A and B are shown apart, each in its own frame.
Chain A
Amino acid sequence: MAAVLLQRIGLALVTMVIIAVVVFFALELMPGDACSVNLGRGASDSMLAACHIRLGLDQPPVWRFVTWAGDFLRGDLGISMQRERPIAEIVGWRLRNTLILAGVTSVIGIPLALGLGVLAGLNPDGPLDMAISGVAIFAMTVPEFISGTLMILVFSVILGWAAGVVTIGYKAPAFELVKASILPAATLIFILAAHILRMVRASVVEVMQSDFAQMARLKGVPRRRVIWHHVVPNALLPAISIIGLTMAWLLGGVVIVESVFNFPGLGRLAVDAVADQDLPLVQAIALLFGLIYVLTNLGADLVALILNPRLRTRRQ
């Protein structure tokens, strides 16, 4: 158990280092650097040189990578070019906001997806399954900028239940943001739940057919107990890694959904930073996304390890 645990954590660390290297040197390969982009075409050589010295761009790339990564570990993400402020300060609030959005999405979306998936899987090809699976396939097919816009149309413009566009600032108190995140979260849940429930449905159908589910019935276990004690726990195990992957997908999803709803999170900041050609900020956000991706997958692995005895112990 401990060896497997250490192995997973070790692999996650290695992945993080690789992400940092790729993110840093990918931008390094682009023509121009933070100074030339920021100062524009009219910059004189002396202005560029001064800028290079100020940002440490006169140092060799490998050394710059080491200092950049080292600073990152200490929580110093560098300084934004356009915004002329420490990146940590800009990113920190937005990260909180995005985590709130992701939190609302998963707290509602994951149980919903598991429940619907089990319901659909218990009566495969029945009317309930047809309805749930049909909507799920629709949700998976429609891109989030369309489903988001439809949400705004229905719930904000027609029904008037919620504001279509988030107008509060990024430093707003958390509960304000929870309220503001309802429509964006609904858009994300729509897609996230679809992916997870399809997986859970397939898994429930498979486990219902398994030898041990049949054996439980032949043991005289009533149907309801077979479902809750034998089928569902085993069917949810493979869903864990899918949940991990879907959570990581959320990060990509938020970039678009936050833009659609004007939600003050990390995703929208990423779009703005790219538009502004604020290279240090883009770098920092890319690395953060990468780390969150690795951490969610590591989390999913560990949860699976704890819940699945077959992974936990090797055969003697």
Chain B
Amino acid sequence: MIQAFPQLEVENLRVGGAGFLVVDTVSFTLCAGESFGIAGESGSGKSTLLLSLMGMMRQGLQPLGGSVRLNGRPMLGQTDAALAAVRGSKIALIPQNPVTALNPSRRIGAQIDEALLLHSALSARGRAARVLDLLGMARLPEPAVTARRFPHELSGGQVQRAAIAMALAGEPDVLLLDEPTTGLDVTTQAALLDLLVDLRHRAKVSMVCVSHDLGVLARLCDRIGVMYAGAMVEEGPLALVLARPLHPYTQALMASIPRLGAAGLPSPIEGSPPSLFHLPSGCRFAPRCALVQDACHSLRPELSWVEEGQKIACLRPNMAPAQVSHPTNTAFAKGAPLLAVQGLSVSYAKQGLFAHKAPKPVVEEVSFTVVRGEVLGLVGESGSGKSTILAAIAGLAVPTAGHIRLMSNNRAEDLAARATTRPLSHLQSIQLIFQNPDASLNPRHRIIDLLAQPLMLYGQVPRSQLRAKAADLLAEVRLGAAMLDRMPAQLSGGERQRVAIARAFAAKPDLLLCDEITTALDVSVQAAVLKLIHDLARKHDVAAIFVSHDLAVVRAIADRIAVLRNGKIVEINTGEELCARPVDAYTKSLLRSVLEIPLGAIHSHLPPRE
């Protein structure tokens, strides 16, 4: 076996600004042909680390120490011209959001051609042919047509393929991937990962891949590092780290990921990551760590070897790994029917003076029922109509056919098409929680004002009791009463979503409509929100319709799951049955596309290296 030579060496890298550190003393080495993954939640410093590998610093940041070397040459403190010569030709980036990362007013072909112009000696004709080659390599249909397109004329997955073609144009030695599949549908994501795995072997590039999704890293990488609050807390061969995480944060992170295979809710990590301005003096994870000791608060652990191949930064390295256990999802007892949707169709009419095309239905002939206290999951890819169904139930989208009945005062009542014409009792019964709490909470209202509105409107709570009632609601979502006088911007994303949930429960609803409510959250926070919805729904006997693109998330929380495709329900069944014995071909393909993290069996040998 030939000893692989180091291609990229990062040594004690520190990146930060005035009074804060984003990347704190990180070291790792990438050998030729190797693929290294960096896992971490938002704010862990993983993207900043990735950019500094190319000598790029975001505004307000600068290297504060350490070094980055590419093929032995330093990447930090170099002139623009020196960096321009290396970027794209020796080291290339596949961006996080390709739709905004490509120039909107230049054709795809021209943008790839530019990379060739800068990094190859090809003639104009040679470049034109190479552009088509590269697009073909990225498996884009009809390269000649795609080359003539503008970025906005392609789908998200296609633009990402174009960005991959662009990154490969300079034949780099090292390819950096920044959340390469975030924001894509699961089936698109699966196809893209296949492409990347294939390219890695064919183009013989080394990779550094950053993602919050361990499933993505599991597909692409041989080794991974786990980052928390700017520091690398665990590093080792992928199979080992996933099978036997040694750092308490890695263990907790793994436990917070919902899995298709394991029934029940994932375990949340309590608390939230530290602010970069007020990092704890000892171990950064100590305030959230279940196994914390006194020494953890004062001593800073260093990343050091503990097992063959595995390093962790922890003061108690010889602890046996904690068992990854999922709290059980309390079984739900079948109750009385609450909501019946029958033959529901919705189409959005084209707006404007010159509209003439007949609108295509977004939701077509959808029927289902929801029983009191039940959580029904709606899963589907973007454009499947899942959010539109919620909008129709909430009275925000007008159905073109079908009706929606709600059990109210012990009799089935038809829901009016528009929320504005519904009686107060119907409005109170159905509460909607939106995907993005940043946008759904009025930024100019204090938390108390946000909660007071439904309390006064639906609960007739007198002014003198508002504060106490609002504090009770916050306690239910496990937030302190001190939050009442804060503004939404002073809260973290997870806390804001809890406030949104408290606001929905303030109305004492019978049915909650949850529209991708965990999509914008980190996994550890997502687990907490899922548990909260589950507990509150059971406690107050509230039913919920939980919409998500993520089958594993839906599986964790829902009693029954409906799979949507192109506005139609293709399969509806209990979560267990649907995942164990899918009937519809589309359900099967969705299940196959879910990136499960290999658990359990530790591979007896490391993956082979060339």
Establish whether residues A221 and B114, one from each chain, have CB atoms under 8 Å apart when the complex forms: yes
Total number of residue pairs linking A and B with CB closer than 8 Å: 93
Establish whether residues A219 and B105, one from each chain, have CB atoms under 8 Å apart when the complex forms: no
* Bound-complex Cα distance A211 to B103 (A): 9
Establish whether residues A212 and B100, one from each chain, have CB atoms under 8 Å apart when the complex forms: yes
State whether A220 and B81 are in contact (beta carbons under 8 Å apart), knowing that A212-B101, A237-B105, A309-B105 are contacts in the complex: no
Residues of B within 8 A of A316 (CB): 153
- Tell me the smallest distance from the CB of B49 to a CB of chain A, in Å: 15
Of the residues A10, A218, A223, A237, contact of B93 by C-beta under 8 Å: A218
Can you list the 9 inter-chain pairs with the closest CB atoms, starting with the nearest? A220-B88, A220-B87, A211-B100, A215-B101, A309-B150, A219-B88, A211-B101, A212-B103, A218-B93
Q: Which of A76-84, A99-107, A182-190, A226-234 is the contact stretch?
A: A226-234
Is A126 interfacial (CB 8 A cutoff)?
Answer: no
Q: Name the residue of chain A whose CB is nearest to the CB of B99.
A: A211
* Bound-complex Cα distance A313 to B119 (A): 31
Residues of B within 8 A of A309 (CB): 104-105, 150, 152
A-contacting residues, B353-374, CB 8 Å: 353-354
Establish whether residues A212 and B102, one from each chain, have CB atoms under 8 Å apart when the complex forms: yes
Is A54 interfacial (CB 8 A cutoff)?
Answer: no
- Tell me the smallest distance from the CB of A292 to a CB of chain B, in Å: 24
- Known A219-B88, A221-B88, A233-B106; 9 more pairs at CB < 8 Å: A6-B354, A11-B353, A209-B59, A212-B103, A217-B56, A219-B170, A220-B83, A220-B119, A313-B150
Is B54 interfacial (CB 8 A cutoff)?
Answer: yes
- Tell me the smallest distance from the CB of A316 to a CB of chain B, in Å: 6
Residues of B within 8 A of A141 (CB): none
- Tell me the smallest distance from the CB of B446 to a CB of chain A, in Å: 32
Is B177 interfacial (CB 8 A cutoff)?
Answer: no
Is B85 interfacial (CB 8 A cutoff)?
Answer: yes
Main secondary structure of the interface of A (DSSP, over half): helix
Q: Name the residue of chain A whose CB is nearest to the CB of B58.
A: A214
Is B181 interfacial (CB 8 A cutoff)?
Answer: no
Establish whether residues A313 and B153, one from each chain, have CB atoms under 8 Å apart when the complex forms: yes
Q: Name the residue of chain B whose CB is nearest to the CB of A233.
A: B105
- Number of A residues with CB within 8 Å of any CB on chain B: 31
Q: Name the residue of chain A whose CB is nearest to the CB of B97.
A: A211
Of the residues A211, A220, A229, contact of B84 by C-beta under 8 Å: A220
Is A308 interfacial (CB 8 A cutoff)?
Answer: yes
B-contacting residues, A225-248, CB 8 Å: 229-230, 233-234, 237
Establish whether residues A217 and B152, one from each chain, have CB atoms under 8 Å apart when the complex forms: no
Q: Name the residue of chain B whose CB is nearest to the CB of A309.
A: B150
B-contacting residues, A174-231, CB 8 Å: 209-212, 214-223, 229-230
Residues of A within 8 A of B59 (CB): 209
Establish whether residues B103 and A234, one from each chain, have CB atoms under 8 Å apart when the complex forms: yes
Q: Name the residue of chain A whose CB is nearest to the CB of B153.
A: A313
Establish whether residues B115 and A315, one from each chain, have CB atoms under 8 Å apart when the complex forms: no
State whether A214 and B86 are in contact (beta carbons under 8 Å apart), knowing that A6-B354, A229-B114, A309-B105 are contacts in the complex: no
5 contacts between A and B (CB under 8 A): A10-B354, A219-B114, A220-B86, A233-B105, A315-B153
A-contacting residues, B127-178, CB 8 Å: 150, 152-153, 166, 170
Establish whether residues A230 and B103, one from each chain, have CB atoms under 8 Å apart when the complex forms: yes
Residues of B within 8 A of A221 (CB): 84, 88, 114, 118
- Tell me the smallest distance from the CB of B78 to a CB of chain A, in Å: 13
Establish whether residues A219 and B166, one from each chain, have CB atoms under 8 Å apart when the complex forms: yes
- Tell me the smallest distance from the CB of A218 to a CB of chain B, in Å: 5
Of the residues A3, A217, A229, contact of B87 by C-beta under 8 Å: A217
- Tell me the smallest distance from the CB of A131 to a CB of chain B, in Å: 23
Is A7 interfacial (CB 8 A cutoff)?
Answer: yes
Is A74 interfacial (CB 8 A cutoff)?
Answer: no
Establish whether residues B104 and A310, one from each chain, have CB atoms under 8 Å apart when the complex forms: yes
Establish whether residues A234 and B54, one from each chain, have CB atoms under 8 Å apart when the complex forms: no
* Bound-complex Cα distance A223 to B81 (A): 8
Is B308 interfacial (CB 8 A cutoff)?
Answer: no
Residues of A within 8 A of B610 (CB): none
Interface residues as binary, B73-115 with A (CB distance below 8 Å gives 1, 0 otherwise): 0000000110111111100110101001111111000000011
Residues of B within 8 A of A307 (CB): 105
Q: Name the residue of chain A whose CB is nearest to the CB of B152.
A: A310
B-contacting residues, A50-85, CB 8 Å: none
Q: Name the residue of chain A whose CB is nearest to the CB of B104.
A: A310
Establish whether residues B87 and A218, one from each chain, have CB atoms under 8 Å apart when the complex forms: yes
Of the residues A216, A217, A220, A237, contact of B170 by C-beta under 8 Å: A220
Residues of A within 8 A of B153 (CB): 313, 315-316
Establish whether residues A220 and B102, one from each chain, have CB atoms under 8 Å apart when the complex forms: no
Establish whether residues B87 and A210, one from each chain, have CB atoms under 8 Å apart when the complex forms: no
* Bound-complex Cα distance A257 to B528 (A): 67
Q: Name the residue of chain A whose CB is nearest to the CB of B352.
A: A7
Of the residues B85, B103, B105, contact of A220 by C-beta under 8 Å: B85
- Tell me the smallest distance from the CB of A298 to a CB of chain B, in Å: 16
Residues of A within 8 A of B119 (CB): 220
* Bound-complex Cα distance A96 to B103 (A): 42
Q: Name the residue of chain A whose CB is nearest to the CB of B89.
A: A220
Interface residues as binary, B299-319 with A (CB distance below 8 Å gives 1, 0 otherwise): 000000000000000000000
